[in-house]
Amino acid sequence: MQSIYDYQLDELKEKVKPAFRAKQIYNWIYKKYVTSYEEMKNIPKDLKEQLNENFSLDILKIIKKEQSSDGSIKYLFELQDGHTIETVLLLMRNKKISEDGNIERSEQYTVCISTQVGCKVGCTFCLTAKGGFVRNLTAGEIVAQIVQLKRDNEIAENKSLNIVYMGMGEPLDNYDNLIQAIKIFSNEEGLCIATKRQTISTSGISTKIKKLGDEDLGIQLAISLHAVDDQLRTELIPMNKAYNIASIIEAVKNFPVDVRKKVMFEYLVIKDKNDDLKSAEKLVKMLSGIKAKVNLIYFNPYPGTSYQRPTRENMVRFQQYLISKGLMCTIRESKGLDISAACGQLKEKEANGNS
C-alpha cells in the first residue's frame, strides 16, 4: 500500500476528490502530525474510510532513541517490513530567554535523515556498510522521518529545520525518491522546508551530480571527499574506482550554486591517514576555482574499527593552513559522542542485542 507521505500536493489532488480535501489532509499530516485519519476532524467519514483503505499513514515506529548531553537525539525507526533505519536530530543552537522571560533567540535544529536501508557504497570507515545494502527508502519513508521527529519533540509547525541527507545510504543512489522527497518537503502547504535548507551529501556519483544540477532545485550540495588522491580515497570509498576524484571535481564545477552559497566538501580526518599538511596543500590545489567550503570532521570511533580519531592539534593545524590559503574551512565539533553517534552504530547495537 502506498503511503500518504509519498505524494506531492498536486498528485494527492488527483487521488482525492474533491481536490480541496487534499490541502486539508496535507494540513493534518504536516502541521498537526496526526497518526490516524480519525484525528482529521474536518474530513468526512466516507473519505476517511477511503484513505484508510488506500494510503498508509503511520509507517515508522520508534523502537529506540538515545539522547546526548549536547541535546542531540538519535532515533532507530522500524519500517513496515521490519527493517530499521537511523535518523538524528541535532540541536545546533539553544533557545535564549531574556531576563524578563521573552525569547530572544529560538533554538535551531538540523536533522540528518536516511535514504536507504543499508548502503551500496561500502565506505571502510562507516558502520552502515557492515550490514550491506537492503533496499531504497520510498519518498514517504524519507519524509516521515521529519514528521516523526517534529511530533516526538513537539516542534511547532512554523519552526523550520535544516535537512541533511547524510544518514544511512547514498542519496543519489535513490535518485527518484530523493527528488520526490525534496519537493514534498519544500511545499508551503506542508512542512515548508525550503530547498536552500536541504543539503544532499554524496560520496560522489559524478553522473548523478550532473543530473541533479540540471534539475536546478536550489538544493545545497556536499561532497564526501575524505582524501586528496585516488589511492587513499579508493581505500576509504571503494566506489572511487568508478567515480574518481577528477570526475567529481568536474561535475561540481558545473553544478549551479547560489551566489550566496558554496559547495561543501566534507573531509573526514583520520589519524595518520589524511591529517598531514601535504594533504592540506593538495586539497587547496584541488579546489582551486570552486566556490568551496571545507568541513573537517573528526573520525567518530566505533567498536571494531582500526581507524583512529585525530588529535585536536592536527585538526587545527590543517584548518589554519587551508584558511591561510584563502579557503573557507570549519571544524565540525562532534555531536553525540556519549551515545551511538557513528552512522549505523545504533542499528548495529540493537541488532546485536546490546543495550
User: Which residues are annotated binding-site positions for [4Fe-4S] cluster?
Assistant: 119, 123, 126
Q: Taking a C-beta distance cutoff of 8 angstroms, is the pair 319, 49 a contact?
A: no
| Residues 99 and 40 occupy one common structural domain | no
| Residues 19 and 90 occupy one common structural domain | no
The C-alpha cell at 97 is 530567554
**CATH number, domain with residue 9:** 1.10.150.530
**CATH number, domain with residue 123:** 3.20.20.70
| Residues 81 and 19 occupy one common structural domain | no
| Residues 51 and 64 occupy one common structural domain | no
User: At residue 262, what is the residue type?
Assistant: K
**86 counts as catalytic:** yes
User: Which residues are annotated binding-site positions for S-adenosyl-L-methionine?
Assistant: 169-170, 201, 224-226, 300
Question: Helix, strand or coil for residue 4?
Answer: helix
The domain total for the chain is 2
| Residues 49 and 175 occupy one common structural domain | no
Dump pLDDT digits (tens) for 318-337. 999 999 999 999 998 766 66
Is the pLDDT at 345 greater than 60? The verdict is: no
| Residues 41 and 147 occupy one common structural domain | no
| Residues 43 and 95 occupy one common structural domain | no
| Residues 138 and 193 occupy one common structural domain | yes
Q: Shortest CA distance to 172 belongs to which of 224, 209, 133, 143?
A: 209
Question: How much of the chain, in percent, has pLDDT values that exceed 70?
Answer: 92
Q: How far apart are CA 66 and CA 338, in angstroms?
A: 9
Dump pLDDT digits (tens) for 155-184. 999 888 999 999 999 999 999 999 999 999
**Last residue of a domain, which of 41, 58, 75?**
58
User: Which residues are annotated binding-site positions?
Assistant: 119, 123, 126, 169-170, 201, 224-226, 300
Structural domain that includes position 7: 1-58
Reported pTM: 0.90
How many residues appear in the chain? 355
Q: Which of 141, 266, 329, 343 is catalytic?
A: 343
Q: Distances from the Cα of 120 to the Cαs of 128, 133, 205, 237, in angstroms?
A: 10, 5, 12, 11
Mean pLDDT score, 264-281? 96
| Residues 64 and 34 occupy one common structural domain | no
| Residues 37 and 68 occupy one common structural domain | no
**Last residue of a domain, which of 43, 58, 73?**
58
Q: Which of 86, 141, 266, 348 is catalytic?
A: 86
Dump pLDDT digits (tens) for 175-217. 999 999 999 999 999 999 999 999 999 999 999 999 999 999 9
Q: How far apart are CA 233 and CA 254, in angstroms?
A: 22
Q: Distances from the Cα of 112 to the Cαs of 95, 104, 147, in angstroms?
A: 20, 26, 13
| Residues 255 and 298 occupy one common structural domain | yes
Please give the DSSP secondary-structure letter assigned to residue 309: P
| Residues 21 and 122 occupy one common structural domain | no
**Last residue of a domain, which of 14, 42, 58?**
58
Model confidence band, residue 64 (pLDDT cutoffs 50, 70, 90): very high
